[in-house]
Amino acid sequence: MSESGNGYAGKIAVIDLTQGSVKTIDSADYQKFGGGHGMSTALYFKYCDDFSVDALNAGNPLVMCASPFSGTLVPAASSRVDVASISPYSYPKHWFHHSSLGGRIAGELKLAGYDGLVILGKASGHVWIDIVDDSIQIRDADEDGLWGTDTWACQQAIWEIKRGGSAAGTWESIDGKRDGGASTQNPAIACIGPAGENLCAVAAIMHDAGHAAGQGGMGAVMGSKNLKAISVWGTGSVEVADPAELLRLRLEVQKKFGYNVDDPENEDPVPSVAMYNFMTHAPASSGVGWNPANWLARAEGCYGCFRNCRATFSDTVGNQAVCFTTIFYDGQGTQDFLKAADVLNKYGINGFEKGLIDYPYALYKRGLLGKGCSIESSIDFSKYGTMEFFYELMNAIVNRQDIGEQLADGVASACAAWGRWDEDSSISAEDGGIERPQYGYVAHYEPRVSTDWGFGSVFTERDLDDHSYNQLCHWMPMMCQMVGREPLMTAQETVEEMAKSTGLGDPMCWNYGEDGTYSDANMRGIEWIIDYNRFWGGSMGFCGFTWPILANTNSLTDHTGATGTYEPLFYKAVTGQDLSWEDSLELGHEIYLMDRCIWVLQGRERDDEQFTDYVYEVPSGDFILPVYKDGEWVWDNCAGRTLDRDEFDAYKSRFYQAEGCDAQTGYPTQSELTSLGLDDFAQALSAAGKVGE
């Protein structure tokens, strides 16, 4: 790969806040990992001196990397920047972690001439980073009135500083350069609110109105460095190898798989078609609490998106809010939960951590939390449901007051701090417990049944947050069922299309029956999803809410998916290089082992990769998925499941071995690392006495 051109800017900025210094390095040595996730891991490995360092220590680097697709026309792959650091959130141990941020910032970073940023050390005072093309300045956040502001006020203040009062949409000469570049855009800004400033482990890094690097507490890592914001303004361009082919591919994918408000083929009005294809025909759905009656909004998406999962409302309340953020707090109607979403985004709180309200409220109802209770609190939970209560609790969290002192570090940590972990992590949420299946993360999807999600999360470092299998195997049939329709595709059609698109060729990879839970086919499916996510998702920036596209639910007749065909074509159009489907997944495997080496160097052992007790002890509820039963494929509700400890333990050994790791310890082996050219990782493990047999 060349140092610059064909998708790459050619340089990475290394910013040392302790020294107040800035330098650039060539990105050529890191381009072999694509960009994003793989590049971030490689850079973190290079610049972290001690992998046992605490997440909020100055020695914990913060790495942000774009991809070669950033700022290009590749659909739903041009906006994401990967954010990597040791997480202060994960429980009970803090693992090296990746999050990501959509919107405009990845593209703007490339237009400014950078493939990534490495941020080291800790500033002596509050600062922000001001990037304008080749100029990078470390500026005083107190002097510029930024520290102490919420995320929206912070961005507006920087826009005013940089644009001098001119409105976005008008041409602005960058920093007054007569012959320099100009832009109609506001600078793209990643910043923290009061949650990050006060080192809350639930703090997100925010961008624009509602784009967030939420999982993992990356906002607290920024706060620990006294870093309020990173502003990026670029006037360059992104070179691609074959612009005409890139445009042709984009238009083709848009026509086949994109969101079409008129829906000419299905001839069926929104929102009912949305029940067939939740991911493409519900552009504003998650911005209004999943209520079809409220789906009247302008669709909005990230830079270069062709599906647009966000919403813009005429009254501006809840703009860009999506998914968990919009259902964080019910309040007393649509306006309340959209107002609540705005508060989360302004304060910089991870909306995925929904239990911040649900769990203490459950404790209150059980008589365990409140004035004079075993968990003392002056917060008036009798006002639950009002916005007054919501503001009181959120302010307590971001300011670390009252029970907010414990909740600021996440629900799992708070549960343990209150001495309730053994009991409350072993019962269902319906009974007042917390369902945190792995590493303190929310039970996003059913780990006892959707084992690709559950196992994939345990073998990585966080909630997997991948919808590739899930949107076809669960959402499509479930949402059709909700409105009394037959699913657009039968269970057999669904798994057969997925088998073709992934290249695995075996529909049994998606047999969610109990006989498939610990099967070799199940394992191949989980290996595929990890490898795809590490390369195409994390490193090349494909949005996990859209890609992989394993089947086409836009058409009533042709369900052939995009994945396996279009990703390598986009890669060739942008970089000019051929990359086979098999080689791309091998790169994903390589990146996974790089991550795994860092976890091992941090101290991860076999016993750390384990589910919380309730997953083995409390039966699951309904969760519709395809099941091969009595010789045929059916949609089944899969209720009443638990995982078996011994079966999972045996499965774990087999998974390790399949991934080129020691079957007993999970340590990557010398031979596997060497065969992949990861000699520096092998040497580090060997020096620590943790290289696999």
* pLDDT at residue 278 tops 70: no
CB 299 within 8 Å of CB 261? yes
pLDDT value at residue 3: 53
Q: What is the mean pLDDT of residues 373-395?
A: 95
Cα–Cα distance for residue pair 10/28, rounded to 1 Å: 7
CA–chain centroid gap for 386, Å, is: 30
Q: What is the pLDDT of residue 50?
A: 96
Residue 269 clears pLDDT 70, i.e. is over it: no
pLDDT confidence of residue 183: 77
Where is pLDDT greater, at 634 or 276? 634
CATH number of 451-687: 1.10.599.10
Q: Kindly give, in sequence order, each residue whose CB lies less than 8 Å from that of residue 335, ignoring residues fewer than 6 positions away.
A: 317
Structure tokens at 6: 């064909």
Q: What does the pLDDT look like over 294-310, one tens digit per residue?
A: 445 677 788 888 877 77
Range with lowest mean pLDDT among 195-199, 264-268, 394-398: 264-268
| Least reliable range by pLDDT among 268-272, 484-488, 631-635 | 268-272
Listed as own residue / partner, the contacts of 449-453 with beta carbons closer than 8 Å and 24 or more positions apart are 449/512, 449/620, 449/623, 449/625, 449/638, 449/641, 450/474, 450/512, 450/623, 450/625, 451/512, 451/517, 451/522, 451/526, 451/643, 452/510, 452/522, 452/525, 452/526, 452/529
Q: Do residues 588 and 535 make contact, with C-beta atoms less than 8 angstroms apart? A: yes
User: Looking up tokens 């969610």, which residue turns up?
Assistant: 512
What is the band of 333 on the pLDDT scale with cuts at 50, 70, 90?
A: low
Q: What gap in Å lies between CA 73 and CA 570, rounded to an integer?
A: 9
The pair of three-digit structure tokens given for residue 232, joined into one six-digit string: 């990026």
Q: Which CATH superfamily is domain 11-233 in?
A: Aldehyde ferredoxin oxidoreductase, N-terminal domain (3.60.9.10)
What b-and-e string marks burial along 63-97, b requiring 16 or more CB atoms within 10 Å of the CB? bbbbbbbbbbbbbbbbbbbbbbbbbbbbbeebbbb
Distance between CA atoms of 131 and 140, rounded to whole angstroms? 14
Mean local confidence (pLDDT), 483-512: 92
Do you find a cis peptide bond into 243, omega within 30 degrees of 0? no
The mean pLDDT of the chain is 90
- Residue 338 has a pLDDT of 84
3-state secondary structure 423-449: HHCCCCHHHCCCCCCECCECCCCCCCC
Find the mean pLDDT for residues 6-34: 96
- Strongest mean pLDDT among 103-117, 159-173, 181-195: 103-117
Which residues, at least 6 apart from 688, have a Cβ–Cβ distance to it below 8 Å?
A: 600, 601
Residue with tokens 């099941």: 627
In the structure encoding, which two tokens stand for residue 503, read together?
Answer: 């290249």
Question: Predicted confidence band at 318 (pLDDT cuts at 50, 70, 90)?
Answer: confident
Whole-prediction pTM: 0.94
Q: Measure Cα distances from 233 to 49, 187, 212, 470 in Å.
A: 31, 5, 19, 37
pLDDT in tens, 457-489: 999 999 888 887 888 899 888 877 776 778 888
pLDDT digits (tens, 9 = 90+) for 118-153: 999 999 999 999 999 999 999 999 999 999 999 999
Q: Percent of the chain beyond pLDDT 90?
A: 75
Please determine, for residue 263, whether its predicted confidence score (pLDDT) is greater than 60. Answer: no
Looking at residue 261, what is its pLDDT?
A: 57
What is the longest distance spanned by two Cα atoms in the chain?
75
Average pLDDT over residues 652-662: 97
DSSP characters over 339-384 = HHHHHHHHHTB-TT-THHHHHHHHHHHTT-EETTSSEE--S-GGGT
Higher pLDDT, 684 or 431: 684
CATH 3.40.190.10 fits domain 285-431: no
Phi-psi category of residue 253: left, alpha or beta, with phi > 0 → left and psi -120 to 50 → alpha? alpha
What is the average per-residue pLDDT within 382-405? Answer: 96
Is the pLDDT at 328 greater than 90? The verdict is: no
Domain boundaries, the chain: 11-233, 285-431, 451-687
Q: Is 166 exposed, middle or buried (0-12, 13-18, 19+ CB in 10 A)?
A: middle
Is 50 exceeded by the pLDDT of residue 286? no
Q: Which of 318-322, 368-372, 397-401, 541-545 has the lowest mean pLDDT?
A: 318-322
Integer Cα distance of 99 and 81 in angstroms: 9
Spatial contact of 604 and 48, defined as CB atoms under 8 Å apart: no
**Would you state the pLDDT for residue 275?**
40
